[in-house]
Amino acid sequence: MLCTPEKYPNLAGINWPADLRELPRTSLEAVATELRQFLIESTSQCGGHFSAGLGTVELTVALHYLFDTPSDKIIWDVGHQAYPHKVLTGRKEALISIRQTKGLHPFPSLFESEYDAFGVGHSSTSISAALGMAIVAKEKGDDRRFVAVIGDGAMTAGMAFEALNHAADVDANLIVILNDNDMSISENVGGLNNYLAKVLSGKFYSGIKEGGKKVLQNMPTISEWAHRVEEHMKGMVLPGTLFEELGFNYIGPVDGHNLPALLATIQNIKALKGPQLLHVVTRKGKGFEPAEKDPIKYHAVPVFDPAEANLPTSVKKPTYSNIFGQWLCDMAAKDKRLMGITPAMREGSDLVAFSKAFPERYFDVGIAEQHAVTVSAGMACEGAKPVCAIYGSFLQRGYDQLIHDVALQNLDVLFAIDRGGLVGGDGATHHGAFDISYLRCVPDLIMMTPSDEQECRLMLSTGFNYEGPAAVRYPRGCGTGVEVSNSLDTIEIGKAVTRREGKETVFLVFGSLLSTALQVAEEIDATVVDMRFVKPLDEAMLKSVAAAYKNIVTLEENAIAGGAGSAVNEYFNAQRIAKIVLNLGIPDRFIEHGEPADLFEICGLDKAGILDSVKTFFECDESL
């Protein structure tokens, strides 16, 4: 038990928000202090998302204190910032299991707690979800409150503004809290801004504002003049004119770490009707100095010692992301047409070196995957060679643009798809389980699945030199550790390679599971073919193996449904080749979070699972 009364005298007694609401307001700052320390202690022992939650401690305390959760709903955008919420809603002692196999979900989840009002993982969904809830409540005459807490980064997505635009139209009782942790505006936070936030949310100001509208509504010229004066006066000291124009009552900015100011402001907002937007300024990593200095580094952490100045480091093999990052720099030095685009994943996709070496050709478009794809298409129209670096699960959000704006026009865009397959602790929202399925059906697009780091580099060069849309899909983390050259050589498009010769059984492997297939093949003396291309398939190879082998097994780190194995089945059927094929991949269900090795075992994609599936399916004896 981490949260003992001796160590955390206030927090230890809070098991549910109702317990928090029993406390006097004078005790809440002590609760916040203990909550922040508890987060540091627990997350350092299990790893997980770190700096975002430290920045939302006071806000979380204020929300659960003032709103009647879970009847009132708090919808957390993305969920990195929701660790304090989990602690206050019955999951305090379980926090040490977060992101681990059978442990707490990494993000809010409908299946985990009634206090998690909406399941999240990808950004910019909170306002839409909260608005949907508020609309239904309005129709029912229900006066419950719905609060969307969205980070400033998530406001770069068009979906957030679509929801803001709609909210004003339906005039639902929705509260949007913009959690702004951009340090560049920290100088705007202070006594004056807290005072303005309280005034603008108070009944006196609201009463005068609404009363004035009624008096002046029959005097259009004066009414318009008064409205302009009000907006210009507020615009001089507040950045809220945009939100006011969208139909929200803008309040803020307020210091998100000043608990009395937060409580007073949110208390006032609760009494207001219609769409409200509270601008809260916080500091990511608040209370832990290394995280305050480098919030990106401490966004997600391994197990570490809080007493140490730095996170632990170890010598590791280069990751696939590292291979991509180095290739991008090398190819950019050779070809000045190359443009690098990322939707807010500079570090994750390893574009750091490229952004420094070629700043004029580096474009971080924010959390805006649709825009990332179409701006790449626009660049290609003007003769550039755009490389769009994006996670497999994030590209799902830009699928229409990929089809309509890139593929339909046969534009020269290379998609470097990171995190293909099972990703571990981030779970179902981040597994790249579907990209092979949703990409292989797109006409004119070639898709490659590297089986090791050197293959990844070769395929990136191949896709870059291909005239048309291309995708290279690679997994998270490290590969087999093969030596990687610094060449920019290419491979023959649609050409598979046999990696091992065997007897009755052949494995057709698409990507990252090649090394596991080779291990299984040693046990049963099977042939292993590295298919390399999901599209186009090596049809000559498929004809050859159909004629030569009794048992055919396809293997991929993607959903079986519609995946690369399905492509093989379709080819055999179209050619009237009567073969029974065993398709192995991710089963037809959402795979939860956990340690990667555990997830592969759960999916039957570890050595033992594959071997068992082959023997069972083909009714083979032990001599196979």
Q: Which residues are catalytic?
A: 284, 369, 397
Q: What is the CA radius of gyration of the chain?
A: 27
Q: Dihedral sign, CA of 327, 332, 338, 342?
A: positive
Q: Which residues of 534-546 are buried (b: 16+ CB within 10 A; e: fewer)?
A: bbebbeebbeebb
User: Token digits for 577?
Assistant: 């080749």
Other C-beta atoms lying within 10 Å of the C-beta of residue 46:
18
Cα–Cα distances in Å, from 3 out to 34, 40, 593?
A: 10, 12, 25
Cα–Cα distances in Å, from 535 out to 42, 46, 441, 463?
A: 46, 41, 9, 12
Q: How far apart are CA 410 and CA 413, in angstroms?
A: 9
Q: How far apart are CA 292 and CA 298, in angstroms?
A: 9
Q: How far apart are CA 128 and CA 147, in angstroms?
A: 11
Residue with the two structure tokens 């497999």: 392
Amino acid (one-letter) located at 615:
K
172: left (phi over 0), alpha (psi -120 to 50) or beta: beta
Beta bridge partners of 529: 498, 508
Helix, strand, coil distribution of the chain in percent, nearest 5:
45, 15, 40
CA 365 to chain centre: 15
Task: Give, to the nearest 10 degrees, the angle between helix 564-574 and helix 539-548.
Answer: 80
Cα–Cα distances in Å, from 451 out to 53, 228, 390, 533?
A: 37, 62, 19, 11
